[in-house]
Structure 1
Amino acid sequence: MAEAFIVGAVRTPVGTRKGALADVHPADLGAHVLRELIHRTGVDPAAVDDVIMGCVGQLGPQAGDIARTAWLSAGLPQSVPGVTIDRQCGSSQQALHFAAQGVMSGTQDLVVAAGLEQMAMVPMSTNSLVVKELGVGTRGKGWEERYGGQEISQFRGAQLIAEKWNMTREQLEEFSLESHRRAVTAIDEGRFTDQIVPLEGLTQDEGPRRDTSLEKLASLKPLRDDWMITAGVASQISVGAGALLVASEDAVRRFDLTPLARVHTLAVVGDDPVFMLTGPIPATQAALKRAGLGIDDIDTFEINEAFAPVVLAWAQDTGADLARTNPNGGAIALGHPLGGTGAILATKMIHELHRTGGRYGLQSMCEGGGQANATILERL
């Protein structure tokens, strides 16, 4: 099988719901990173075989195949097609998988893997409002017969995980505080500078809170009186986009490209849709088994912080070192623009491997419906 190389990886700063990027149209958000990706890599954009973009809320300004719209909005050749995919929060990580698989199969040479979410314009609840207006459920009779009769939500899933893994609210809040601390350190040390493409005057991520504390986190009201889950231990509603260029060995030679990383191993799994958020555990195990690697062979992990219990349960079951996990903070501090997060995390991980000289990075994230992707990249 042919090799797939990542030759470019960029992202926007991640904005908050009411921040500097709140009024940026999703197509322009995506166009911004696509244009910069082509500029930085120096490839002929007409040579790109496809643009694969993850986006969860594919309605309103994000409808109509936002991958195609963003590419054209960037002023790039109309001969290049685009496709938008939805694997929930893992949408743009799946875009990276599809791009790599296209190159590995030998049927494509240059594929853009990207993702975006404009949650200020298309809130996470928008789909529910549409469903309510139509008067139909999001799940059919067969699904209801199998899993119905109980509440299905990411919030309940996070609470169930915290209970099953015997976590305390204090543990969750300590983890969240550390996420903010790491993110602030990363920003102050300029670790994100090279990967970020400034937009609307915004040059750094807006989410990290320098003034947060355990006392402030403890003062937040839980979503339900008998729950541990508060806004402080959950990812932030955000605006952001990321893009990577995946190239074949032939394209690397032809366009004189410099590979940043090799796509080493890909895995995707399904898991319990009621717990919903536990997928990174079996996904990590599957990827490591396929790669012939152990957990201690991985130099850095990016495990999406949808909720603090997700990462803590994952670390317990895999034996991963939390010191090497989300070393520059995670979504609790930096935000989680749904369909854009996979590409953003991959970009962060590649740059972190180059900063530290590590060899392997592993990325995974929980996804709606009880799923997870896992990706192992090797720094070159």
Structure 2
Amino acid sequence: MSNPVIVDVIRTASGKGKPGGALSGIHPVELLATTIRGLLQRNDLDPDLVEDVIAGCVSQSGEQAANIARNAVLAAGLPEAVPATTVDRQCGSSQQAAHFAAQGVIAGAYDVVIACGVESMSRVPMFSNFAGKDPYEPLGSRYPDGLVPQGVSAELIAARWKLDRTALDEFAAESHRRAADATTSGAFSAEILPIGDHAVDETIRASTTVDGLAGLKPSFQDPALAERFPEITWSITPGNSSPLTDGASAALIMSEQRAHALGLTPRARFAAFAVTGSDPLLMLTGVIPATRKLLDRSGLALDDIDAYEVNEAFAPVPLVWQQEFNADPARLNPRGGAIALGHPLGASGTRLLTTLVNQLEASGGRYGLQTMCEGGGMANAMIIERLG
């Protein structure tokens, strides 16, 4: 089997996912195309060598429809012979793209492949691909009481694991503090591809405090749901949730043999993968069984892992994960997470991977773990090992 390695990873700085955001004037095809071009240029790689491009994107409608991966490849100027496909595993879409790319290398299907992702939430709003229809209606016979929005799932998780509003807001404030410190220290400079003059994450609020967050109103409070779920205390707010975000990210993945033949130095290798389904009502808890499955497969214990990236879709997700595994909070999202850095849905998987690789290099850590909760009750998880 070929050994899949990460040669390089980059991301754009986040842009607020609303009109007037730093990246809102850029068509999502061009945003992804610019990121792919930047990745190839940074490594002086002949684009003819790329055998496939796999991109994550969640809202595949409007400007993100018609296989945005292929459109971005063509817009980036890559040869017409380079194919591309777009995948949707909800928030984990580009992490799944990285899994597919690495697994393709292991299978011998690829030697050089790009895994990437994009989401322009300012131009293609979340749920716009529903077109006013209810995609969950056929599930009524199995779930007669109905499923709930992700924010309500986050509320249910907070209630079940007894996480109060203060704990959620403290975690959110710390995410902003860590991200602001990483920005000030220049820690993000190696991972961010400037888009024009935009090179700093627009979603970080360095002035965030617990007291300030305490004044925000719950986002998902609903009388009918309150009757159905009396245990909910309604603690999820815009402040302890990830913001709507624009962004793109990309990873250059190769067989180790091809990387060395091209004179490129691999930065990390893929050590283990896992993907699992979970309760679609508590849809954000999949990170727990996915991590257990991953650790079992890898033969590693959590204490062997030097950094954990657990996507901060909502504050309860990483907090519950930390609680379940008794994880070291200092190793959990050490540069801040999506609450501060943003969550551009389809781009978040390779965004987390970019940050994880750079964190391991900066800290001298060996192993990094990444996991993403996903809509519908799923999760991806993987372990990478720093090389060099």
- Output the TM-score relative to the length of structure 2: 0.95
How many Å separate the matches in 2 of 1:200 and 1:227?
40
How many Å separate the matches in 2 of 1:50 and 1:321?
38
How many Å separate the matches in 1 of 2:197 and 2:289?
41
Other-structure match for 2:30: 28
* 1:107, distance to aligned residue in structure 2 (A): 1.7
Name the SS of the counterpart of 1:183 in structure 2: helix
Other-structure match for 1:208: 204
How many Å separate the matches in 2 of 1:316 and 1:212?
24
How many Å separate the matches in 2 of 1:97 and 1:57?
20
Other-structure match for 2:69: 67
How many Å separate the matches in 1 of 2:336 and 2:106?
32
In the alignment, is the contact (CA less than 8 A) between 2:111 and 2:254 conserved in 1?
A: yes
Q: Which runs of 4+ in 1 moved over 6 A?
A: none
* 1:318, distance to aligned residue in structure 2 (A): 1.5
Other-structure match for 1:374: 381
Name the SS of the counterpart of 1:374 in structure 2: strand
Correspondence 1:337 to 2:344 = yes
Given candidates 354, 359, 379, the residue that maps to 2:361 is: 354
In the alignment, is the contact (CA less than 8 A) between 1:22 and 1:120 conserved in 2?
A: yes
Correspondence 1:93 to 2:89 = no
Letter in 1 for 2:258: A
Other-structure match for 1:157: 153
1:196-275 to structure 2, matched below 5 A, reads 196-223=192-219, 224=221, 226-275=233-282
How many Å separate the matches in 2 of 1:29 and 1:71?
11
How many Å separate the matches in 2 of 1:290 and 1:151?
32
In the alignment, is the contact (CA less than 8 A) between 2:140 and 2:146 conserved in 1?
A: no
How many Å separate the matches in 1 of 2:290 and 2:172?
23
Deviations 1:312-370 (A, max 9, x none): 11111112111101001001011000000001100110011000000000000100110
Correspondence 1:168 to 2:168 = no
Other-structure match for 2:330: 323
**Number of matched pairs:** 374
Given candidates 99, 120, 123, the residue that maps to 2:122 is: 120
Name the SS of the counterpart of 1:343 in structure 2: helix
Compare 148-157 and 187-196 and name the one that shifted more: 148-157
How many Å separate the matches in 2 of 1:92 and 1:367?
12
Other-structure match for 1:42: 44
In the alignment, is the contact (CA less than 8 A) between 2:147 and 2:280 conserved in 1?
A: no
Letter in 2 for 1:302: E
* 1:106, distance to aligned residue in structure 2 (A): 1.1
How many Å separate the matches in 1 of 2:329 and 2:289?
18
Other-structure match for 1:288: 295
Letter in 1 for 2:49: A
Other-structure match for 1:138: 135
How many Å separate the matches in 2 of 1:269 and 1:318?
17
Correspondence 1:297 to 2:304 = yes
How many Å separate the matches in 1 of 2:137 and 2:165?
36
1:105-116 to structure 2, matched below 5 A, reads 105-116=107-118
* Identity, % of aligned positions: 51
How many Å separate the matches in 2 of 1:283 and 1:126?
29
Letter in 1 for 2:94: S
Correspondence 1:179 to 2:178 = no
Other-structure match for 1:148: 144
Name the SS of the counterpart of 2:247 in structure 1: strand
Given candidates 56, 59, 80, the residue that maps to 1:57 is: 59
Letter in 1 for 2:146: Q
- Output the TM-score relative to the length of structure 1: 0.96
Letter in 1 for 2:150: Q
* 1:140, distance to aligned residue in structure 2 (A): 4.8
How many Å separate the matches in 2 of 1:148 and 1:87?
24
Deviations 1:196-253 (A, max 9, x none): 1111311111111122211110000112274111111100100000000110123113
How many Å separate the matches in 2 of 1:327 and 1:139?
36
Letter in 2 for 1:120: S
How many Å separate the matches in 1 of 2:144 and 2:47?
48
Provide the alpha-carbon RMSD of the alignment: 1.1
Name the SS of the counterpart of 2:283 in structure 1: coil
Other-structure match for 1:195: 191
